[in-house]
Amino acid sequence: MKNVLVIYYSQSGQLKEIADKISLPFVEDANVNVTYYNIQTKKSFPFPWDNDSFFDVFPETFKQVPTEIIPPSNEILQTKFDLVLLHFQVWYLSPSIPINSFLKSEYAKIILNNVPVITISGSRNMWAFAQEKVKVLLKDVNAHLVGNIALTDRNINLISVITVVDWMFSGVKRKTYGFLPLPGVSAQEINESVKFGKTILPFLQKNNYTGLQKQLLAKSAVEFRWFLLSMDKKANKMFTIWSTLILKNPAKRKTLLKVFKGYLFAAIWVLSPIVHLIELILFPITYFSIQKKKKYFQGISYVSKSLYQ
């Protein structure tokens, strides 16, 4: 009997849908016991978001400051798992506070120690640097990353900004303005993600994950848009400056968050199109560098001085 733990934190329910689909082949296998762990924090986070709450979590999210979580059950803590499927949201180019808090907890050291882990993200589109941060956290608890699945909203970048923001602040997954596409990972892609569970299952049965990521990639497990990588990198540098400034000036926090909101609006609607245009112009020159980065980010290796820096 193989023991599989499915870990997730989902506000809208989308990531839970993905978790259910990917784990379905394990649930249907009589030789696999599947346990679900929904991470909960002492401090709750709203959905839908309100404006103040959404921006207030920025500095702690980006700086990966943990908050207290509700302990997992004794059953989970006392079980030796053969595989963990770790599902996470991306907040401000980082793993969400609940996922980050779990990975930095004593519970993660118990549950994930020397255990194969497959990371599964459901995000708008910029997931690469958040995944790098998760890699570091997994390494810190002696977990073994054996696979990665990155599902995204595949709509045009600026269109997805409008639709995802509408979803986050209304709580309703709808066609914004009545004609824009639905936000988030498409229903078809979520329904078809059962294929990833089917791909993983034989590796679990053999207890050998060599070659798994290659097979997952063949099933379109990792969506990679090269121009977003450049924006992700630049935004991480700017977020470092902003989050440091806000946390060092608690008395001015509200004012600084308002200014940050203005910066974020300008970065999305003015700077990101410029970056995209520059990347398009430079594409012939940077082609081989892009291919190298694509191979790295679609893989599961971790280097302390990454080539993306």
Query: What confidence tens digit (pLDDT) does each residue in 55-79 have?
Result: 999 999 999 999 999 999 999 999 9
Which range marks the domain in which residue 65 is found? 2-298
Decide if pLDDT at 307 tops 80. Answer: no
pTM of the entire structure? 0.94
What pLDDT band is residue 283 in, cutting at 50, 70 and 90? confident
pLDDT of amino acid 305: 59
Q: Look at residue 63 and tell me if it is in a domain.
A: yes
Q: Max CA-CA distance within the chain?
A: 57
CATH number at residue 89: 3.40.50.360
Decide if pLDDT at 308 tops 50. Answer: no
What pLDDT band is residue 98 in, cutting at 50, 70 and 90? very high
| % pLDDT > 90, the chain | 87
pLDDT of amino acid 306: 52
Q: Which range has the worst mean pLDDT, 177-186, 224-233, 239-248?
A: 224-233
What pLDDT band is residue 282 in, cutting at 50, 70 and 90? confident
Q: Report how many domains make up the chain.
A: 1
**CA dihedral sign, ordered 183, 186, 191, 195:** negative
Tens digit of pLDDT for each residue in 112-155? 999 999 999 999 999 999 999 999 999 999 999 999 999 999 99
Q: Which ranges of the chain does DSSP label H, i.e. alpha helix?
A: 14-27, 51-56, 58-62, 74-78, 97-103, 106-111, 128-140, 157-170, 187-192, 194-206, 212-218, 226-248, 253-266, 272-297
Q: Look at residue 86 and tell me if it is in a domain.
A: yes
Decide if pLDDT at 252 tops 90. Answer: yes
pLDDT of amino acid 304: 65
Tens digit of pLDDT for each residue in 147-181? 999 999 999 999 999 999 999 999 999 999 999 99
Q: Report, in angstroms and rounded to the nearest whole number, the Rg of the chain calculated over CA atoms.
A: 19
Q: Look at residue 304 and tell me if it is in a domain.
A: no
Q: Look at residue 303 and tell me if it is in a domain.
A: no
Q: Look at residue 82 and tell me if it is in a domain.
A: yes
Q: CA end-to-end span of the chain, whole Å?
A: 43
Tens digit of pLDDT for each residue in 5-51? 999 999 999 999 999 999 999 999 999 999 999 999 999 999 999 99
* Run of H or E residues at 119: strand 116-123
DSSP secondary structure, 33-44, as one string: EEEEEE--BSS-
Q: What is the average pLDDT score of the chain?
A: 94
3-state SS class at 195:
helix
